[in-house]
Amino acid sequence: QYSFKENGWGASLAERLVRKCDVVNRGLSGYNTRWAKLILPRLISRSAGAESTVAVTIFFGANDSALKDLNPKQHVPLEEYAANLKSMVQYLKSVDITEDRIILITPPPLQESAWEKECVAKGDRLNRRNATTGQYAQACVQVARDCGTDVLDLWTLMQKKQDFSSYLSDGLHLSSEGNSFLAAELWARLETRLSAFPALLPYWRDVDHANPETSLL
């Protein structure tokens, strides 16, 4: 949901692809795979035009991996998380979005000390652990292998930077730098498919102003 905020990764991709294709945001803050699996047919249907869909990203795990005893509403058991991801991939395939157009994204790492401050400020205890999030990230990678989709392992890639806290605004959600990182990594996977797309409609200087119909119709 936050990906279309200023400097968000969705907004960044939309800017790169302006007049080539539309970037459609269907992110929902706080949701987990259990809920997403139920509403996916409402968000993407066969009538939406699968033949014109270049890529679909599925980005879950930060909420599913919340600790059950401290955040039971968002928590989803690891095995169910993996099964839900597989179910979503299978649904997309059923509406003719093939696995080569699906990209799974793992949850980013959790910076525990920063997120604990957020929790304490709300009167709660630390309700996530980075090691647990890592288990969900590994499960996401395995689902991608099993289903033949691409995968962007944010949890691993971000931690290649010794201090990855700059990628996160509060220990959990992406900062501007984290959004830029995700956008760049996604673009590296999409560029070959999308960079050659022609612009929709001619550049304004190329329009025949005396007879625009010849240029625009």
Tell me the whole-structure pTM to 2 decimals. 0.93
Per-residue pLDDT at 196 exceeds 90 = no
Total domain count, the chain: 1
Q: Is 16 exposed, middle or buried (0-12, 13-18, 19+ CB in 10 A)?
A: middle
Per-residue pLDDT at 29 exceeds 80 = yes
Give 37-92 pLDDT, tens digit per residue.
Answer: 999 999 998 776 777 889 999 999 999 999 999 999 999 999 999 999 999 999 99
Q: What is the CATH number of the domain that holds 156?
A: 3.40.50.1110
Distance CA 17, CA 12 (A): 9
Beta bridge partners of 164: none
Question: Which of 54-58, 133-137, 189-193, 204-208 has the least mean pLDDT?
Answer: 189-193
Q: Which domain holds residue 54?
A: 2-215
The per-residue pLDDT for 52 is: 82
The per-residue pLDDT for 200 is: 86
The whole-chain average pLDDT of the chain stands at 94
Adjacency order of strands within the sheet including 56-59: 56-59, 102-105, 150-152
Q: 52 or 113: whose pLDDT is higher?
A: 113
Tokens of 202: 């001619």
